[in-house]
Structure 1
Amino acid sequence: MNHRTLKADTGGTPIEVRGLTKRYGTRAVVDDLSFTCTPGTVTGFLGPNGAGKSTTLRILTSLAAADAGQALVGGRRYSDLTDPARTIGVMLDATALGRGRTGLETLRLAERTLRMPAGRAQEVLELVGLADAARKRVGGYSYGMRQRLGIGVALMGDPKVLVLDEPANGLDPEGIRWMRRLLRSFADSGGTVLLSSHQLREVQATVDRLVVIDQGRLVREGTLEELTTARGTRVGAEHTQTLLAALQSESVPHTARADGLVDVELAADDMGRLALREQIVLTSLGPADAGGLEEVFFSLTGTTPSDTTAAERGPATIA
């Protein structure tokens, strides 16, 4: 991988979302959302259809205005950046690229607009694997080729941050491996990556950290290991709300699952003692089994594998 092409500021540029809220009418599409993406990491931004991911990314890139809160890149709003494309590279919709231009013309236009050195367009074309299609019109590109070109446009300014919405859509297995290596190289050189995707298996193979949202709210945030490593006990109760209240009262870390069970950071015998003391009738008690990222995602959001599979069949059109 060309290190110079994937240059990132060694000081690092974080993404910070603080209390972000966006309403359409009476519905909060994004609801008091806060999370951070740190330099040197690839963060997966996950949620079911309509969770608020695309709206969050649009606010982050000043394509939509927040009703409350902030979305910052290096401590500044996108619209306040002096040279935004040299700070943050963005791909939200590769299908929006002009179909009448060739791939090379598309990148040369970006080269001139960003005042990049002559030859940068050709360099990026080679980086994204489109050198052989440089003079082919974008309208004749496959969807996967347009994805590569969209990532190329995002990289044109040698940014410190990459924000990509569904970047793996349309890529074949070789293209997915290429994207994984590219993002890893970018992060390892000090860059910050935030990517939204429905392709959970690919996310698990690519990211360091996860931000999971549902109905506009943060559900879980942490490292991939933290979210997919089982800890403690999975418990069911005759009255789940009574159980949750007792855990809250005792300050016991816990996660309520969409299937009605609760993962509790207590050993099974300690959980049994707490239930006995609080006179809570348990219906199940056993070790927590985090499973893979898919299992974690479905349990946190209440979606089903068929929901996600349907979303992966084509370009995402999500809130």
Structure 2
Amino acid sequence: MAIEVRGVTKRYGTRTVVDDLTFSCEPGTVTGFLGPNGAGKSTTLRILTSLAQADAGEALVGGRRFVDLENPARTMGVMLDATALGRGRTGLETLRLAERTLRMPAGRAEEILERVGLADAARKRVGGYSYGMRQRLGIGVALIGEPKVLVLDEPANGLDPEGIRWMRRLLRSFADSGGTVLLSSHQLREVQATVDRLVVINQGRVVREGTLEELTTTRGTRVGAEQPQALLAALQREEVPHVARLDGLVDAELAPADMGRLALREQIVLTSLGVAESGGLEEVFFSLTGAAEAQPDATLPGQQAPGLPGPGSPSHPAPADRIPATIA
């Protein structure tokens, strides 16, 4: 079951947080959703889970809005904020409540506790859990309805190395069985070790999308010019694949010698010319987003970010079979 974000725009006051955003996630893939603070990731996830309404465009799961699905949480499992879990319940009580709410067979809660590695802490109150344990429990809530799609925000936060390895295996197994995973994270090294596709956004727009290999394998030339726009126009006319970096340079899939010939023919003065070298996902991320300059995502007054309010909260009353996020 695919996720489709089509031309989504969202404004808070005079600020456009998401700007004509379009991307998709296909079954069998783990897609990393990356961007600096303020890029619009959390807002996009709120729109996808029907906690916010787009001003234009649509975000669909299997061709329908999340709120219009017959059994939302049994179609798409969501964890946007593990700290929203009710601290007074035990882990087992939390999952049994989800089990009953989603009309899952008895015993599903115990099965999930085993799967997320919390069987020994089943009767411990969530308030006594470590952050990493709450992350595991939040993922368990997302999984309990046997969904076809998973949407997770920063799932590796608080996990120790063993927990991170467990999460990688879990997501890979889920995708390999035909599931669709959308994973938002700031931990670039863990993203690179987990995902097979990437969507990178900045200032509410997609700046790069493709497979992990496509984005992290640099081919060709890194070049600078006195007139960058003239260089970009020439590359476009010649249909040479290229990416404009925020430092003013351009990575183009063209050998340095051929780039020199193109510049000479077009009478473009080059200021630098060399073989492009990739430092992996981290280097690609910073070159595309200039992340150090980003500002926090806008949120509405009284609205949680990036988590979801629990069922029955004033901002999002939920029917019995709709628990899109962690149970408060």
Q: TM-score, normalised by structure 2?
A: 0.88
Give secondary structure in 2 for the equivalent of 1:100. coil
**Contact 1:42 1:208 survives alignment (8 Å):** yes
Aligned-residue offset at 1:303: 2.4
Contiguous gaps of at least 5 residues in structure 1: 1-12, 308-315
**Contact 1:236 1:283 survives alignment (8 Å):** yes
Q: 1:77 to 1:225 in 2, by over 3 A?
A: same
Q: Using the alignment, how far apart are the partners of 1:289 and 1:211 within structure 2?
A: 21
Give secondary structure in 2 for the equivalent of 1:183. helix
Residue from 230, 238, 242 that aligns with 1:242: 230
Q: Which residue of 2 aligns with 1:58?
A: 46
Q: Which residue of 1 aligns with 2:75?
A: 87
Does 1:97 pair with 2:94? Answer: no
Q: Which residue of 2 aligns with 1:31?
A: 19
Q: Output the amino acid matched with 1:139.
A: G
Residue from 269, 273, 286 that aligns with 1:298: 286
Contiguous gaps of at least 5 residues in structure 2: 295-303, 308-328
Aligned-residue offset at 1:131: 0.5
Give secondary structure in 2 for the equivalent of 1:66. coil
Q: Using the alignment, how far apart are the partners of 1:303 and 1:191 within structure 2?
A: 31
Deviations 1:251-288 (A, max 9, x none): 32210011111001212122111111111110111111
**RMSD between aligned residues:** 1.5
Does 1:205 pair with 2:193? Answer: yes
Q: Using the alignment, how far apart are the partners of 2:73 and 2:130 within structure 1?
A: 26
Residue from 101, 111, 115 that aligns with 1:113: 101
Q: Using the alignment, how far apart are the partners of 1:268 and 1:159 within structure 2?
A: 49
Q: Using the alignment, how far apart are the partners of 1:108 and 1:170 within structure 2?
A: 24
Q: Output the amino acid matched with 1:237.
A: A
Give secondary structure in 2 for the equivalent of 1:32. strand
**Contact 2:148 2:180 survives alignment (8 Å):** yes
Q: Using the alignment, how far apart are the partners of 1:66 and 1:231 within structure 2?
A: 38
Q: Output the amino acid matched with 1:221.
A: E
Q: 1:66 to 1:114 in 2, by over 3 A?
A: same
Q: Using the alignment, how far apart are the partners of 1:133 and 1:318 within structure 2?
A: 26
Q: Output the amino acid matched with 2:128.
A: G
Aligned residue pairs, count? 298
Residue from 118, 142, 146 that aligns with 1:154: 142
Does 1:143 pair with 2:131? Answer: yes
Q: Which structure ranks higher in relative contact order (CA pairs < 8 Å, sequence separation ≥ 6)?
A: 2
**Contact 2:81 2:306 survives alignment (8 Å):** no
Deviations 1:288-319 (A, max 9, x none): 11221000101111125x99xxxxxxxx9669
Q: Which residue of 1 aligns with 2:298?
A: none
Q: Using the alignment, how far apart are the partners of 1:152 and 1:86 within structure 2?
A: 13
Q: TM-score, normalised by structure 1?
A: 0.91
Give secondary structure in 2 for the equivalent of 1:35. strand
